A and B are shown apart, each in its own frame.
Chain A
Amino acid sequence: MNKRYVSFSLAGGRYCIPVDQVLQILRLENLMEIPKAPPYVEGVVNLRGDIIPVVGLRQRLEIQREDRREPDPRKRRIIIVRVGTRSYGLDVDEVREIVEIDDSSVATDATTVLGVRAEFVTGIARRDDSMYILLDLPRVFSAGRDLSAQLPGQS
């Protein structure tokens, strides 16, 4: 079955997230800094009165690929996604296009993904000459954040 994804680039790699999880795409502006936030939280945007955390995917995915080029600030975007009942922003280098990917062409053997935390990846798809990394958004936003908030003595 064909599914539609929004593809974007980040540190030289290509990533995809399902179209139906994307609410909106904003220019990277009016990002407000947050005191004492985890390193991967770059700040928040105010979207019609809602306070939406913006996550730096580079840090969150722990991308290790060497890519020293600074992203072009004019191309940087925030993709607002919906995960469960909450909304988050993803800071990405450039939003590319909508791609259709057939389920059968997705390799779910995620260990082959180099340089990205495998737990955040649902699979890899090859299309034409490009390789797309499919992100597991619910995991990106939930993993490892429960205990840090509950255990005393860690702040």
Chain B
Amino acid sequence: MTNTGLDEARLRHAFLEEAEELSQKLGDTLLALEGDRENLELINEVFRFTHSLKSESALMGYQSLSELAHRMEDVLGLARAGTLKVEKPVIDAIFAGSDLIAEMMAAISKGNRDTEFNTEAALKDLSAIVSSAPGNGHRGAPAAAAAVPAGAPAAAAAPAAAGAREIVLNDVERRQLAEARDRSESLYRITVKVAETEQMKFPRAYLVFCNLELIANVVKTDPAMDGEPVEDSLYGATTLVVTTAGNDTALREAATVDQIASVDIEPRGYEEYLAPRGARAAVSLSAAANLPPGVAAGLAPGGVPAETAPAAVSTVERTSIRVDTRKLDDLWSLIAELVLHKSHLARLSEDLGRGADVHAVREELSDSFDSLEKISSGMQQAMMDTRMIPISVIFNKFPRLVRDVSRKLGKPVELTLAGEDTEIDRSLVESLSDPLTHIIRNSLDHGIEFPEERVREGKNERGRVSVTARRQGGNIVIEIADDGRGMDTGRIRQKAVTMGIAGAQSFSEAQLLDLVFLPGFSTKDVVTDLSGRGVGMDVVATRIRGDLKGDVELRTDPGKGTRVTLVLPLTLTIVNALLVRGDNHLFAIPLTDVDSTAKVLSTEIRGEDGREISRWMEDDIPVYSLGALFGKGRRKSEEYFAVVLRHGDRKAFLLLDELIEEREIVIKPVDDLLNVHRMFSGASVLEDGRLVFILDTSLIRRENF
């Protein structure tokens, strides 16, 4: 691998990116397969991901990883051929392998070696499955051989590669192959044998070639199909190198024509054809060791000592990102416009130099300036968009998490996810993943009861946990809800009193639940025993409230379940907001939190000071006033401007002095120093330099607001 001329670190970086995605997809598909074990499509997909992982890792010289993937592929090959039923031990073994691969990759990304992992047990399990499969007395039959349908004639069942010759590609073909790999197509080597009885071999082989060309990309054939046909008998066995986005079933269909005795379709790794000499030899070493002699002979000869594996690996900085190309296209078209305007400006400057009419030039300049302004704000938006990724990058991990934890605990749990395509700022992903995982774990650990208990309570045996994300104004709201036993606020109060927390006796339920987020309150002995939720909720709160400048809230219904709501501000973003004035300050209210605007007569306001209500549609909702919130109190008046705020299921009137306008604002974070009462979700500076605070409308849910 030292003679590649390519930067080793960059190669590894690319590998990790690719492999990480593959590994994630593998996990997801496995989960789906577990629920739908007969699904051939899913088996094929799992096979394909495993196969790609094997090839990619082999290319990089990660032999342990590659060997593990290879063994998994063996098992999956049998499953794909229908000779092995996908039952629990099979799924478990593949899961175990997939986990190990994920761990290895994590280690590799930290600069460690895959060889540090003990894969022996996993390999043994996989081999045991292969040898226990019907008709597989020998260990480690390659996937390709196993993929041949059991009922095929004897000639077809012979190892495919027996008659196959090694195919060497020229530069153009190699490039074709590299492009196919980039398109994530699969690579197959197909060996087609024409029936002995057929007098004219070439036309038959050519027919297969044409059929395949229709559905796949035939990179090379041996013997060649173009140019002068060679001696006809050579076409009795034709080898084709094919890439396709489809699966091998389609290939088989295309290749199965009259007078064809056998079609052998073998998935191959791109590295075989593309890898530089050193790496290629290394691959053939790991691959060949497990293949029957006939197949091994088809690979490049010669083993390479282990020392040629990559030299000491240094830590990779994972700073690159994946961006939806459409987002980049948007940005690109804006840049194109920008370039256009640049030349326009240059021309105007020339015109001025030549003594053109100043007024005309000024007008053009002013137009140009307007366009530039549009472009720059468009670019700003486009750049922000590239920072946004769907929250599914976090949510994707949860099905697996729930599966594992629920198995471990013996509590069957059904997980529902919603709003996975809600976009969040890339920078939030890392800080958000842990707290969410923690909350879900807690739900399973402490919230969901054991099946017997649930049945006793008249609940469904299976617990339910739901995780949903949605955008709400300038916020992302994530809710984790379970239908478990809920929390006992009475016990929390007791604990609070024993801990000497001032005023705990008269705390409202919300205040009590908020205590769980205090450091030192939710210790293990307390909360497990409090039967609810909570080890380390203080850590969650620190992350969410501190690092992410969001908020976290607990609501519980004893016996029915618990709901944790995270509200995260979308920093670095633009929202549509209603600009209002109250107590001589400007405030912005995200439009999505505004139900409507209204006028409220003072005679319509009932109730005592601080607990006033008024009628809105069919309900009485609380009345708050911007003036009272931030200043000296409500200005006396006959009638008030008001906004009906909406947050979740709650509504409230907010009285104010003036409704100014609706507009887009750029949200800036506000330092905690300015936000000790957590009334703002951000701030914004207007063009004239005035400061606008963005109201955190979730405050209408708070008890002592």
Contact = CB atoms under 8 A, between A and B. Distances in A.
Given A149-B678, A152-B703, A51 B670 contact: yes
Interface of A: 30, 32-38, 41, 44, 46, 49-53, 55, 86, 88, 141, 145, 148-153, 155
Given A33-B585, A35-B583, A46-B691, A148 B685 contact: no
Contact-residue bracket for chain B: 20 to 34
Interface in B497-546: 503, 507, 510-511, 514, 517-518, 541, 545
A81 to B, nearest CB: 13
Given A37-B673, A153-B704, A51 B691 contact: yes
B673 A49 contact: no
B630 A51 contact: no
Given A30-B689, A149-B678, A51 B668 contact: yes
B102 interface: no
B674 interface: yes
Given A35-B585, A36-B629, A51 B683 contact: yes
A115 B689 CA distance: 38
6 contacts: A37-B673, A37-B676, A51-B683, A149-B672, A149-B678, A152-B507
Interface of B: 503, 507, 510-511, 514, 517-518, 541, 545, 583, 585, 629-631, 668, 670-679, 683, 685, 689-691, 693, 702-704
Contacts of A153: 503, 507, 511, 703-704
A88 B670 CA distance: 12
A32, A36, A46 interface centre (most CB from chain B within 10 Å)? A36
Given A41-B674, A150-B545, A35 B630 contact: yes
Given A35-B585, A38-B673, A150 B685 contact: no
Contacts of A53: 671, 673-674
A8 B242 CA distance: 77
A36 B510 contact: no
A150 B704 contact: no
A88 B668 CA distance: 15
Contacts of B583: 35
Contact of A49 (B511, B630, B685, B702): B685
Contacts of A41: 673-674
Contacts of A141: 673
Nearest to A149: B676
B570 to A, nearest CB: 16
Given A51-B670, A53-B673, A152-B507, A46 B678 contact: no
Given A145-B673, A152-B702, A153-B503, 12 more contacts: A35-B631, A35-B693, A36-B630, A36-B676, A37-B673, A37-B676, A51-B670, A51-B674, A149-B672, A149-B677, A149-B678, A153-B704
Contacts of B668: 49-51
Contacts of B541: 150
- Give the 4 A-B CB pairs with smallest separation, nearest first: A35-B630, A152-B511, A32-B691, A53-B673
Nearest to B693: A35
A38 B671 CA distance: 12
Contacts of A152: 507, 510-511, 514, 702-704
A41, A51, A53, A86 interface centre (most CB from chain B within 10 Å)? A51
Nearest to B541: A150
Contacts of B630: 35-36
B687 to A, nearest CB: 11
A150 B689 CA distance: 31
A150 B518 contact: yes
Contacts of B671: 51-53, 86, 88
B585 A44 contact: no
Given A38-B673, A46-B685, A51-B683, A155 B518 contact: no
A37 to B, nearest CB: 6
A155 B704 contact: yes
A155 B691 contact: no
Contacts of A51: 668, 670-671, 674, 683, 685, 691
A46 B704 CA distance: 32
Contacts of B511: 152-153
A51 B683 CA distance: 8
B34 to A, nearest CB: 42
Contacts of A44: 674, 691
A41 to B, nearest CB: 6
Nearest to A152: B511
Given A46-B689, A149-B545, A152-B704, A37 B674 contact: yes
A155 B677 contact: yes
A36 B704 CA distance: 15
Contacts of A155: 677, 704
A34 B704 contact: no
Contacts of B703: 152-153
Given A44-B691, A46-B691, A49-B685, A36 B677 contact: yes
A153 B518 CA distance: 14
B676 A145 contact: yes
A32 B688 CA distance: 13
A44 B677 CA distance: 17
A39 to B, nearest CB: 11
B518 A145 contact: no
A52 B675 CA distance: 12
Contacts of B672: 145, 149
B676 A38 contact: yes
Contacts of A148: 676
